[in-house]
Every structure is written in C-alpha cells, then in structure tokens.
C-alpha cells in the first residue's frame, strides 16, 4: 500500500517501473494512522476513567477525612461535656451540703445574721481548704457574691468571675478557658440558692489537665488528626500538642485563618467543614469547626491535606500506571496486528501487483482470508484474469490482423511483380482462399463493351469447370444474384445465410456454399470487377472481415486494372515495335532502291555536262544542271531521313578514329562553299588556329556537321560575310560559324534543332531538308560535344560547335 | 596500267564506273556481270589487279562470300577490296568492316571524288565513304 503513494524511483529493470517504498514512505504507511486510532481509542477513555476515578477517589478521601474529623470532633465535644458535668457534680456535692449552706447563709452580704458573718467566713475558709483536698478538678474553692466580691475561699480573691444577670439554680457558669495575665485559665462557678433566693457563687479555678488529656487522646481518631480550642480572636487556647502551647499557651492562627473563622456562619450549624486553610503549622489543611462546646471556645479538628490525599494520590498513581501498562500492551498488540493482518498482506499484494505490472500476467495473489483484504486479493485476481484474457485476445487479434496485412503485402507484391492477368488472378484467388480458409474464391472482371461481369479466375476443381463452361452476368439485362447486385450497386452484397437470402442464387458447382460475399473491385469510380467469396459456414463474414476483404478487393482491383493497362500497353508497344521495324525496313529498302537509279541520274547528267557524250548547248547544260541539283537534293533528303531514322531509333553508330584533323575538315567543307555562294557578295573569312590538336571522333560525321553549318550560312546570307573560327578551349576544340544573314528570333531557336520544324526563313529557302541542324546537333552530342545557336532577327546567326578532344563517350575501333 | 576489278550485276552501275575510270589516267577497269561471271573468268585475267570493287547483292555468291573466297587465294590475299553498295545503314557498314573489307563507297558514286578515294586506298588507307554528299 505504501508503495502506491511512494514517489517513482529509478527503474531497476529495463522497462518495468518498480515502486520501492522509501524510508519516508514507511512513516506514511497505513500502520501509522491505524496505530494512532487504536492508541487514541485506548488512551482517551483510559485517561478519562483514570481522571474521573482519581477525582472520585480524592473526593471520597476528602469526605472520609471530613467524616472522620466530624466523628472525632463530636467525640471530643461529648468528652468535654462529660468533663464539665464532672465539674458540676463536684461543685454541687460541696455546695448543697447543709453545713455549707448554713455557713453561706450566714456569710453572704445580705445575711440576716450579720454578727455571725465573720465566724461563718472563717468557717467557710477552713471548710474550703479541707474540701480542696477532696476535689479532683478544682485548683481553688471560693465563694463570690454576685457583685464579684469574694466572701470566703482558699484564694480570697475574685478569680475569672463575671457577674451573671439572672443566675439559675443548678446552672454552673464556666469562664474560659481564656488567657488572663499571660496565663491560660479556666473557672467554674456554681450558684448557691436558699430556697428560691440566690445567695452567692461557689467555685474556682479549674485544672485543665483533663481537658488536655481529652484533646491529646487520639485513641480511635486515626493518624494526623489534631484537635484544639480556639477563642474568638483566633487564639489557640488548648491543644492536643504540648508544643503548640509552649509559648505562654498562646498561639494565634494565621491571619487568613482568623478572617476565615470570622466569616464562618455558625448560627445554624454546630459543625462546619473548612478546607485548604493555612494552619498554624503552615501546612494546607482540612478541618471541622464545632461550636457546640459548653465552653466559650470553638473546637477545631484538622488534618493535613497531604495526610488525607496521599493515599488517594497513591491510588491515582497506581491506576495511571495500570492504564499506561494497558496502553502499552494495546500498542504492542496493535502494531503486531496491523503488521501481521494488514500491512504484510497488502505488501504481498502490492508485490504481486508490481509483478503483474511488469508483464508477468500469470502471477496471482494468495487468497487465504475472507476479510476485506481477501476480497481485495480476489478482486485483484479477477482483474488480472480479465487483463490476461484481454491481452491474449489482443494477441489473437494482432495475429489475425498481421495475417491480413501479410496477405495484403503479398497481394501488393503480386501486383507489382505479376502483370500478366492470366497469371495474376488464379494466384490471387488461391492465395485469398487459403489465407481466409474460404470454400471458394473467384474473380469476375467487368467488360464495359458487353456490360457483363465475366468469371476470370476461380479456385478448385469447381472453379476449373466453371471457367471451362464460362460464367457471366449481364448487368444491363438485369441478371440477379449476389455478384451482379454488388456490380450494380458498387457496394458489397452479403448473403450470410444462403438459405434465408433472396439475393443468393444456388450454384450447382458449389453445393456446400452457406454464405456468400461479393465485393466490388473499384478503381476511382469505375467498376473493375467482383471479388466473390463463399463459405461453408453461415455467418462467416463479420464486419471486420468485410472491411479487410474490401481493402483487399480494392487492391486486387488496382492489380487487375494495372494488368489490363499493361496488356493494352504491351499490345500498343508490340504494334509500335512492329511498325518501327516495318518503317526501318521500308527506309532501308527505299534508300537502297532509290540510290541505284539516283546513281545513274546524277552520274550520267554529270557526264553529259562534262560533254563526255559530245557537245551540248548552253540551254541543255542549264537544264541538265537543274536535273543534277534535284538529284543531289533528293539524295541528301534520303541521307538525312536515314540519319534521323537512325538517331531516333538509337542506332546511330559512329565510326571513330583518333586522328581527326579539324582544320583539314574545315578546309574540305569550306571548299564546297564556292559553288553555293556563286557570285553573291559574301566574303568567307577563315580564322582557324594552325596548331589545333587531332581529336577522337567520326571524320565523316564531323565533316557532315561542318558542311551543314557552312552550307546553311551560305544559303541564308545574301551579302556580308561568313566568318569561320577554329580554336582550342581547354579540353575542347571549338568551331564557330557566324554569318550576316537575316538571323533567327530567339523564340524560334528551338525549332532550328527540331526535326521537320523549319523556321520561317528556312521555309522561305526551299532548298533545305530542314533536317540538317537537328542531325548536326545530335551528331555533336553523340561526340560528347554540343551545338549552340546565338542569334536575333537582323543580327545574323552564330553557330558554335564544341567537340571534346578526347571524348569519354567514344571508343576508337580497331580497324 | 593499274587494273581494277568491279563485280556488279546492275548494268547502269557498271557503265557509270567504266566511264569514270575511263577518265582516270593509268587505270584500267574490268567488270563482271555477277559473281558467277567473276569465278568463271578470273583465272584467265591478268594478275596485275590493284583493287577489287564488289557489289554486295550478288548472285550466286554475295559480296561477303566473294570476299571470303578472294582472301583464300594467294593472288588476291593482299589486294584491297572495297564494297560499292547502296545499303548504307549502320549495321550493314559494320558487317562490312567486320567481314574484312578495306572500305566502302556508297552509291550513288561521286565521280568527282572517286579518283581521290582510289588513290587513298592504294596508299594503304581504309575508306568508309558511306555518306555520299555529292555537290
């Protein structure tokens, strides 16, 4: 899985790109989010539960601490209550004694027996001293009037007494504990009544040892709980801890505590819980304040916060440790699970996918699970199966197409190599039949003269028989069948099941035909013929086949058309060759047959003109001269026609010598001009270099060219001059013949060298054959040279003959 | 007197050549009407022949056969033999050359040029005067 999102790295194999998970990809692996989900789903509730349970734990611990402190507080209050009752009982036991009562009546300030007062006071002093030994809780015993005056007693001083508005019988008045004169003190006063009449208070300083004992007693109160008494100013009056009272028994609680205590509303509740206040010890503390003491003080019970919560904290710590351990186990198991059950199978699947991508289509993923990954692997295998099927199907199609193309190529080769239709068509039909495994293949060729398609090639024994008998469809007459239908519509005609087709005509030679397809063979928009295909199976022809076969039909059409054209050309060529041969033969015969009588005409005329047969008159000579000239003209005509004929048939052969003397040939040609020029005012100017080298060439032919150039110049020049220049130009010998004749218009120059194309001036001069210049140019070219014309109307003409000294075209013959 | 032989079946051609040679100083012409005529008479004729002119279209032996026969005889082995013919197509000329003729003169014969040609042949040149531009 990781590999899919991984960046492409350099391919390791030739073409197949492979995905390699990189280090960073490992971090992006699916295991990271999965793990995160698992861990979060474990940690969050675990932490929540731990937090809640911790809070509950702490709350419970606090509550328990409070309850414990309340219990302790209540216990202490009740113990102190008992103690106060003990004080009452002791005071009461002495007070209500009859002797004591009598003495008090006598000693009190309002006594009815004032005389007895002093005695009574003395007796009381004695009595109290004796009684002091018997009491456990009093440190002094005195009798005090309501106005505070001491009547009698061990101390004989008023101690810790405050007057009471309306003393009630049996109600002991407790003063303190309080700090007085730097000392902590406490007193208890018991009202003494005579009947309903209040007499005086009896009591004294109280020993606070018992109180201390009560506060110090920690039996059953648990560790760390302290109790102490606090007065309204925040002084600690009494405490369970001795050290608390070391400094003159006075400790003042922290100021914030004092304020806090003052703010407490104790009106309704005897017990109030306080928390997190600064104790005199400086620690954060929980506590309970109790105002139900029968004393003028509050009872504070406290416990250090740490003592209370340590246990809770410990339990929180424990549960946190357990949670952490659980999370750790979950992570380890999660990693194991993800790796084993998700990542590893996905990696395996990914490797398989890469192999498939690399072309190994036989590779399949291992499916051994029913979960989503198993489903994925199954889907992957299904996909690969389809891919493999697709590719192998593709290969099959490619194979088919390759065969088609091969066939098309073969046909093309046939088309270009085999031009004989009688050879071509039988091979084509056989090739198509075997390539496509058809039952029968035939080609009909369209004949526009008869408007028929005629069977020209067909496969097999049946084909041979049909060809012998002949098979033809007339399109004009409206013949029916698959073949004529295709021919008429110029579109294919298909009978995929001949039993159901109306177009198909049963053919006795082909009894097994079940399907027939006729494809028109068309070149341009002209019907060439029909390619007829027959199959032994119904529905053999599908769209694909029809397309390919249609292309094939077009190709065969081109082949047939080419062959037809080739036939036409062959015929034309044969007749042309025949005609040419006839012409050559005719020319040769004509030449031969004309020369013999011309031999007699020209020579006898010359003999007579030379008066070999006796004297002749001037008129006779004149007439005979015309006969001679005409004879020579006729001879020249024959020669020129023969030359042109040779040139055009390519049979002009030069008789080559290696010592052709150009100046000599020029002289010989120039010698003939006298006769032609006769008495015309034309000067012949010769300028031929004496040291021209001999050249390789045909003497007679070069002379022929020079004669032609000079006679041409003479003929067309009525006055002026003819200049003949001969010189060497590099590897060439150049002969220039320039006249002052009428000249030739540039647009007519081509005509000069074109056979049977005389210029107007040439036509005006009836004496030429019009073949001299064309022959001369061809002769010059046959030597590897050239013949060029420079001329304009009115400026004369200049012909330049250039001949190579040693032409590469010529070979000197051994003679 | 230098003697020339001329084998020719055309009467007019023989007559013309007779008249041409008649006009040439120091030359004598003996004509034969056909190859059979030549074969039957040749042994009775003087041996001092300097040149033999042969028509090609002869009977019963044509020019080529005549040439072959003549070359086999010591008497004519070194005598120049010239074809005098109206057939001047290239292939025919080439055939003449290959057969071993010393030259060819085309018909019609240029009577003004003819003596010069004979002179050339007699000094050992080959003549192939097949282009008969007669002026």
Give yes or no for a contact between A766 and A636, defined as CB atoms under 8 angstroms apart.
no
Residue A245 pLDDT exceeds 60: no
Return the bridge partners of A271, or none.
A290
Is pLDDT above 50 for A308?
yes
Nearest chain B residue (CA) to A672:
B135
Strands A682-688, A720-729: pairing kind? parallel
Query: Which of the four pLDDT bands, split at 50, 70 and 90, describes residue A157?
Result: low
DSSP string, A559-591: HHHHHHHHHHHHHHHHHHHHHHHHHHHHHHHHH
Q: How far apart are CA A91 and CA A171, in angstroms?
A: 11
Pairing between β-strand A657-660 and β-strand A150-153 as defined by DSSP bridges: unpaired
Contact list in B for residue A607 (CB cut-off 8 A) is 16, 19, 111
Q: Given this model, what pLDDT does residue A9 score? A: 45
Split at pLDDT 50, 70, 90, the class of B79 is very high
Q: Which of B85, B108, B115, B127 to mutate to test the interface with A (most CBs of A within 10 A)?
A: B108
- pLDDT, mean of residues A149-153: 81
Give the distance from residue A699's alpha carbon to the nearest chain B alpha carbon, in angstroms. 10
H-state helical runs in A610-658: 618-649
Spell out which residues of chain B touch residue A599, defining contact as CB-CB under 8 Å: 12-13, 16, 86, 107-109
Tell me the pLDDT band of A278, cut-offs 50, 70 and 90: low
Q: In this structure, what token pair is assigned to residue A242?
A: 């001795």
Q: Of A310 and B20, which is predicted with more confidence?
A: B20
Searching chain B, which residue's CA lies closest to the CA of residue A654? B90
Contacts of B86 in chain A (CB under 8 A): 591-593, 595-596, 599
Q: What is the pLDDT of residues A475-531, one digit of tens each?
A: 888 788 889 988 888 888 888 888 887 778 888 888 888 899 999 998 888 898 999
pLDDT band at residue A305 under the 50/70/90 scheme: confident
Burial A353-383 (b: 16+ CB within 10 A, else e): bbbbebeebebebebeeeeebeebbeebbee
| pLDDT of A349 higher than 60 | yes
pLDDT tops 90 at residue B15: yes
| Segment B85-91 mean pLDDT | 76
* Own/partner long-range contacts of B56-59 (Cβ < 8 Å, ≥24 apart): B56/B83, B56/B85, B56/B87, B56/B92, B56/B96, B57/B9, B57/B85, B57/B87, B58/B7, B58/B9, B58/B34, B59/B9, B59/B34, B59/B35
What was the pLDDT predicted at A371? 81
- How many CB atoms within 10 Å of residue A274? 19
Cβ–Cβ < 8 Å for A641, A771: yes
Tell me B109's DSSP state. Answer: P
Residue A472, beta-bridge partner list: A454
d(C-alpha A484, C-alpha A471), whole Å: 12
Chosen for mutation from A592, A641, A657, A775 (greatest number of chain B CBs closer than 10 Å) is A592
Whether pLDDT at B31 is above 90: yes
CA distance B98 to chain A (A): 9
Residue A23 has pLDDT above 90, yes or no: no
CA distance B107 to B127: 14
**pLDDT at residue A592 is higher than 90:** no
Q: How far apart are CA B72 and CA B79, in angstroms?
A: 12
Most confident of A92-106, A406-420, A692-706, B38-52: A692-706
pLDDT at residue A19 in the model: 52
- Interchain CB contact of A671 with B (< 8 Å): no
Smallest Cβ–Cβ distance between A599 and the set B16, B112, B129 belongs to B16
Please provide the average confidence, as pLDDT, over all residues in chain A: 81
Asked whether residue A243 carries a pLDDT value surpassing 80, the answer given is no
Q: What pLDDT shows up at residue A334?
A: 80
Instruction: Output the pLDDT for position A199.
Output: 84
Count of A-B CB contacts under 8 Å: 86
Q: Looking at per-residue confidence, does A653 or A754 come out higher?
A: A754
What's the pLDDT at A2?
Answer: 40
Average pLDDT of A207-217?
80
A148 pLDDT tier (thresholds 50, 70, 90): confident
pLDDT of amino acid A153: 81
Count of residues for chain B?
135
User: Helix, strand or coil for residue A558?
Assistant: helix
**What was the pLDDT predicted at A355?**
85
As a whole number of angstroms, the distance between CA A719 and CA A797 comes to 13
Nearest CA-CA partner of A256 in A279, A272, A239: A279
Instruction: Point out the residue among A592, A607, A632 whose CB comes nearest to the CB of B87.
Output: A592
- The torsion angles phi and psi of A188, rounded to 5 degrees, stand at -130, 130
Whether pLDDT at A757 is above 70:
no
A291 neighbors A266 (Cβ within 8 angstroms)? yes
Give the pLDDT confidence of B39-58 residue by residue, as tens digits.
899 888 877 889 999 999 88
Quick check: A467 and A455 in contact, CB under 8 A? yes
How high is the pLDDT of residue A815? 44
Residues from chain A contacting residue B108 (CB–CB below 8 Å) = 595, 598-603, 631, 635
- Partner-chain contact A635 B132, CB within 8 Å: yes
- pLDDT (0 to 100) of residue A244: 47
- Which of A169-173, A186-190, A421-425, A460-464 has maximum average pLDDT? A460-464
Say if residue A419's pLDDT is above 90: no
Determine which of A599, A639, A674, A712 to mutate to test the interface with B (most B C-beta atoms within 10 Å).
Answer: A599
What digits encode the pLDDT tens for the residues A783-792? 999 999 999 8
More confident: A55 or A411: A55
Interface of A with B in 561-620 (CB under 8 A): 588, 591-593, 595-596, 598-604, 606-607, 612
Query: Which residues of chain A have a CB within 8 Å of the CB of B128?
Result: 655, 700
Cβ–Cβ contact A701 with B under 8 A? yes
Q: Render pLDDT for A605-630 as a digit per residue (tens, 0 to 9).
A: 999 999 998 999 999 999 999 999 88
Q: How many angstroms separate the CA of residue B18 from the nearest CA in chain A?
A: 12
Task: Output the CA angle B2-B4-B5, nearest 5 degrees.
Answer: 150
Entry pTM? 0.43
Q: How confident is the model at residue A156 (pLDDT cuts 50, 70, 90)?
A: low
pLDDT (tens digit per residue) in A110-142: 777 788 888 888 888 888 888 888 888 888 888
With a cut of 60, say whether residue A382 has pLDDT above it.
Answer: yes
Interface residues of B toward A, Cβ cutoff 8 Å, are: 10, 12-13, 16, 19-20, 23, 86-91, 93-94, 97, 106-109, 111-112, 126, 128-135
Residue A5 has pLDDT above 60, yes or no: no
Sequence-ordered alpha helix ranges (H) in A164-271: 209-216, 255-263
Kindly tell me if the per-residue pLDDT of A16 is higher than 60: no
Residue A722 has what pLDDT?
Answer: 93
Whether residue B76 contacts residue B52, with contact meaning beta carbons closer than 8 Å, is answered with yes
**Residue in A591, A653, A704 nearest the CB of B88:** A591
> Which residue of B90, B97, B133 is in closest CB contact with A636?
B133
Sequence-distant (≥ 6) Cβ neighbours of residue A306 within 8 angstroms: A283, A284
Compute the distance between CA of residue B31 and CA of residue B15 in angstroms, rounded to an integer: 9
């Amino acid at each position: 899985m990781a590999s899919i999102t991984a960046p492409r790295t350099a391919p390791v194999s030739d073409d197949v790109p492979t995905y390699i998970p990189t280090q960073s990809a490992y971090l992006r692996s699916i295991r990271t989010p999965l793990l995160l989900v698992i861990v979060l789903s474990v940690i969050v509730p675990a932490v929540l539960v731990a937090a809640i349970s911790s809070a509950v734990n702490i709350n419970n611990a606090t509550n328990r601490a409070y309850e414990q402190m309340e219990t302790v507080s209540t216990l202490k209050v009740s113990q102190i209550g008992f103690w106060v009752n003990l004080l009452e009982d002791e005071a009461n036991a002495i007070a209500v004694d009859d002797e004591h009562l009598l003495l008090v009546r006598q000693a009190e300030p309002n006594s009815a027996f004032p005389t007895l007062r002093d005695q009574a006071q003395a007796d009381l002093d004695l009595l109290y001293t004796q009684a002091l030994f018997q009491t456990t809780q009093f440190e002094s015993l005195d009798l005090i009037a309501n106005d505070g005056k001491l009547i009698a007693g061990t101390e004989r001083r008023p101690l810790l007494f405050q007057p009471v508005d309306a003393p009630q019988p049996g109600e002991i008045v407790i003063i303190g504990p309080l700090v007085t004169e730097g000392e902590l003190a406490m007193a208890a006063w018991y009202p003494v009544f005579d009947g309903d009449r209040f007499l005086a208070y009896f009591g004294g300083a109280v020993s606070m040892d018992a109180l201390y004992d009560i506060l110090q007693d920690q039996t059953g109160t648990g560790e760390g709980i302290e109790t102490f008494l606090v007065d309204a100013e925040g002084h600690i009056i009494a405490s369970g801890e001795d050290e608390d009272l070391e400094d003159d028994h006075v400790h003042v609680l922290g100021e914030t505590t004092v304020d806090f205590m003052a703010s407490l509303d104790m009106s309704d509740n005897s017990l109030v819980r306080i928390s997190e206040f600064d104790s005199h010890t400086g620690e954060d503390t929980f506590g309970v304040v109790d105002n139900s003491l029968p004393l003028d003080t509050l009872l504070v019970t406290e416990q250090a916060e740490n003592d209370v919560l340590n246990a809770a904290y410990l339990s929180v710590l424990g549960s946190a440790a357990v949670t952490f351990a659980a999370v750790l186990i979950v992570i380890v198991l999660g990693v194991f699970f993800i790796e084993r059950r998700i990542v590893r199978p996905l990696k395996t699947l990914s490797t398989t996918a890469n192999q498939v991508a690399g072309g190994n289509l036989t590779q399949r993923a291992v499916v051994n699970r029913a979960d989503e990954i198993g489903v994925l692997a199954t889907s992957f295998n299904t996909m690969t199966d389809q891919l493999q099927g697709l590719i192998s199907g593709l290969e099959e199609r490619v194979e088919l197409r390759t065969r088609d193309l091969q066939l098309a190529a073969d046909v093309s080769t046939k088309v270009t190599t085999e031009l004989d239709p009688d050879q071509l068509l039988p091979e084509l039909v056989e090739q198509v039949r075997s390539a496509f495994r058809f039952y029968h293949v035939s080609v009909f060729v369209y004949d526009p003269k008869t408007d028929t398609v005629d069977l020209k090639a067909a496969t097999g024994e049946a084909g041979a028989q049909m060809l012998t008998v002949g098979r033809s469809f007339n399109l004009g007459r409206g013949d029916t069948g698959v073949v004529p239908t295709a021919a008429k519509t110029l579109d294919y005609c298909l009978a995929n099941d001949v039993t159901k087709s109306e177009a198909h005509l049963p053919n006795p030679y082909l009894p097994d035909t079940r399907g027939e397809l006729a494809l028109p063979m068309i070149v341009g928009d002209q019907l060439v013929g029909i390619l007829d295909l027959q199959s032994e199976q119904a529905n053999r022809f599908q769209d694909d086949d029809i397309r390919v076969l249609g292309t094939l039909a077009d190709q065969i059409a081109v082949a047939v058309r080419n062959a037809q054209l080739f036939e036409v050309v062959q015929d034309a060529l044969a007749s042309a060759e025949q005609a040419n041969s006839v012409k050559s033969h005719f020319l040769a015969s004509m030449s031969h047959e004309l020369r013999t009588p011309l031999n007699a005409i020209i020579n006898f005329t010359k003999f007579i003109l030379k008066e070999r047969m006796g004297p002749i008159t001037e008129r006779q000579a004149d007439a005979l001269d015309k006969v001679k000239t005409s004879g020579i003209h006729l001879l020249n005509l024959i020669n020129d026609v023969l030359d042109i004929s040779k040139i055009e048939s390519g049979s002009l052969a030069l008789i080559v010598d290696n010592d052709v003397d150009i100046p000599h040939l020029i002289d010989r040609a120039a010698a003939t001009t006298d006769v032609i020029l006769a008495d015309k005012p034309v000067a012949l100017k010769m300028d031929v270099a004496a040291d021209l080298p001999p050249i390789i060439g045909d003497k007679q032919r070069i002379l022929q060219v020079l004669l032609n150039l000079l006679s041409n110049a003479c003929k067309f020049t009525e006055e002026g001059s003819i200049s003949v220049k001969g010189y060497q130009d590099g590897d060439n010998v150049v002969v220039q013949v320039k006249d002052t004749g009428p000249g030739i218009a540039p647009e007519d120059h081509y005509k000069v060298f074109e056979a049977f194309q005389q210029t107007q001036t040439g036509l005006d001069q009836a004496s030429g054959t019009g073949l001299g210049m064309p022959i001369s140019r061809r002769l010059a070219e046959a030597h590897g040279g050239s013949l060029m014309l420079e001329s304009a109307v009115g400026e004369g003409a200049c012909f330049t003959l250039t001949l190579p000294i040693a032409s590469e075209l010529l070979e000197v013959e051994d003679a | 007197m230098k003697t020339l032989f001329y084998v020719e079946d055309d009467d007019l051609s023989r007559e013309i050549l007779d008249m041409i040679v008649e006009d040439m100083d120091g030359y004598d012409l003996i004509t034969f009407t056909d190859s059979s005529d030549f074969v039957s008479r040749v042994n009775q004729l003087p041996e001092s022949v300097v040149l033999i002119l042969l028509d090609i279209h002869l009977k019963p032996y044509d020019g080529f056969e005549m040439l072959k026969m003549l070359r086999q005889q010591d008497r004519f082995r070194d005598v120049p033999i010239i074809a005098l013919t109206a057939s001047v197509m290239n292939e025919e000329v080439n055939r003449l050359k290959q057969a071993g003729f010393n030259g060819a003169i085309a018909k019609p014969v240029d009577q003004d040029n003819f003596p010069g040609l004979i002179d050339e042949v007699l000094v050992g040149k080959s003549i192939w005067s097949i282009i008969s531009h007669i002026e």
